[in-house]
A and B are shown apart, each in its own frame.
Chain A
Amino acid sequence: KNEVEQSPQNLTAQEGEFITINCSYSVGISALHWLQQHPGGGIVSLFMLSSGKKKHGRLIATINIQEKHSSLHITASHPRDSAVYICAVLITSGTYKYIFGTGTRLKVLA
């Protein structure tokens, strides 16, 4: 079992839909990142969370430390949101390092 699990793996939505991507982890962490990767490879850091909730434009990220779970929500989705969304946790056991989820491939249709 992977230490970081994302769901769903693939998601197709119609423009305007509300989207939720989930991330569950099984290790102790000091922070969790949500990353966005467009075709071509470059990665953009969307949020870094250690507790609670953050909002930026149409994106909302939440984390529940007790339940070891985070969600990324996209309101009023748009075709330009089509990308791979990756959850990355910064683990605290031993040395600090990032462990990544396998990503959620999102396609938003016009």
Chain B
Amino acid sequence: KAGVTQTPRYLIKTRGQQVTLSCSPISGHRSVSWYQQTPGQGLQFLFEYFSETQRNKGNFPGRFSGRQFSNSRSEMNVSTLELGDSALYLCASSLAPQGYASTEAFFGQGTRLTVV
């Protein structure tokens, strides 16, 4: 059974550009969550999608957005990139939405974004 796949693994962008990251969940999983990891802030929750609907959103500016497709694959978009957006972006998939105590999340390897 394939794990959570994130593409690309590494990305370099310049300030002001926009970027789209992709996450393919484990087959059958309908929940995809996104996280940002930086040395200063650690891991922070960005948003969660379940059945193509955004269920929860963390405290990030509107430049960060996402969507989920009917096959449960999710994309995350960051517009007008800033240097501080340099981070490891992780996604996790699960069968059921967050909040179901029996639901275990499986993480991808992450996309390392560097903004120069």
Contacts and interface: CB of A to CB of B under 8 A. Distances in A.
Contacts, number: 62
Interface string A30-59: 110101000011111100101000000000
A100 interface: yes
Interface in B62-116: 88, 90, 92, 97-99, 101, 104-110, 112
Contacts of A50: 101
Chain B: interface residue count, which band? 20 to 34
Contact of A95 (B43, B56, B101, B112): B56
B101 A30 contact: yes
A46 to B, nearest CB: 10
Interface stretch (A10-18, A19-27, A66-74, A86-94): A86-94
Chain A: interface residue count, which band? 20 to 34
Q: Is the interface of A mostly helix, strand, loop or mixed?
A: strand
Given A90-B98, A97-B58, A103-B42, A40 B109 contact: yes
User: Considering residues A35, A40, A44, A95, which has the most beta carbons from chain B within 10 angstroms of its beta carbon?
Assistant: A95
Nearest to A42: B109
B113 to A, nearest CB: 11
A98 B106 contact: no
B43 A100 contact: yes
B33 interface: yes
